[in-house]
Amino acid sequence: MAFFGLLAGILATVWPGSAARAATTERVVVGRYSGLAIRGFDPVAYFTDSVAIEGRPEFEVAKEGAVWRFRNEGNRASFAAHPEIYGPQFGGYDPTDVVRGVACAGNPRFWAIVGQRLYLFGREASRDAFAADPARYLGEARARWPELEEKLAK
């Protein structure tokens, strides 16, 4: 019986799509072991290249307790000057989950730019639902975010 309980606990934390695996207690989504924001993807490239591109270690900047990577010096400089524009909204948490009052990390491969702001999603289905009615999701997420953000660690 103890074995099955242990096995269930392990599966709950590593099974893809598990809310337990994605939940976090940070105001900005950061890799637990790497310290990288948005898994090392370049947040400026979403705007300039319309694609998710991994950043390079030689182009890094530390902001908001996270290490952000970029593909080139120009992107790094743009982010350093305006992190509020290029950084993912809601700290990189999925806005569809924020609406539900849950902080689940977005995946940098599932993204959208709406109103010149970057949003990351945990699942493709969440991104598609958001894209179908961004005004509704953003209104509800913005209303819930301050309370949820307050619960996250500083």
The pLDDT, as a whole number, for residue 63 is 87
Residue 17 included in any domain: no
Stated pTM of the model: 0.81
Cα distance between residue 1 and residue 136, in whole Å:
46
Note the pLDDT of residue 16: 39
What pLDDT was estimated at residue 153?
A: 66
Show the CA angle centred on residue 65, arms to residues 40 and 113, nearest 5°: 50
Does some domain include residue 109? yes
Region 94-115: mean pLDDT is 96
Determine the pLDDT at residue 154. Answer: 55
Exposure b/e, 86-104, CB count within 10 A at least 16 = b: bbbbbbbbbbbbbbeebbb
Whether 96 maps to a domain, the answer reads: yes
Band of pLDDT at residue 135, cut at 50, 70 and 90: very high
Taking only the tens place, the pLDDT of each residue in 56-102 is 999 999 987 899 999 999 999 999 999 999 999 999 999 999 999 99
Q: Is residue 16 part of a domain?
A: no
In a domain, 4, yes or no: no
Domain that holds residue 131: 25-151
Q: Does residue 18 lie within any of the structural domains?
A: no
Mean pLDDT (whole number) for 19-29: 55
Q: Is residue 58 part of a domain?
A: yes
Quick one: average pLDDT of 129-135?
Answer: 97
Total structural domains in the chain? 1
> Is residue 6 in some structural domain?
no
Q: What is the model's pLDDT at position 5?
A: 45
**Residue-wise pLDDT tens digits, 33-49:** 999 999 999 999 999 99
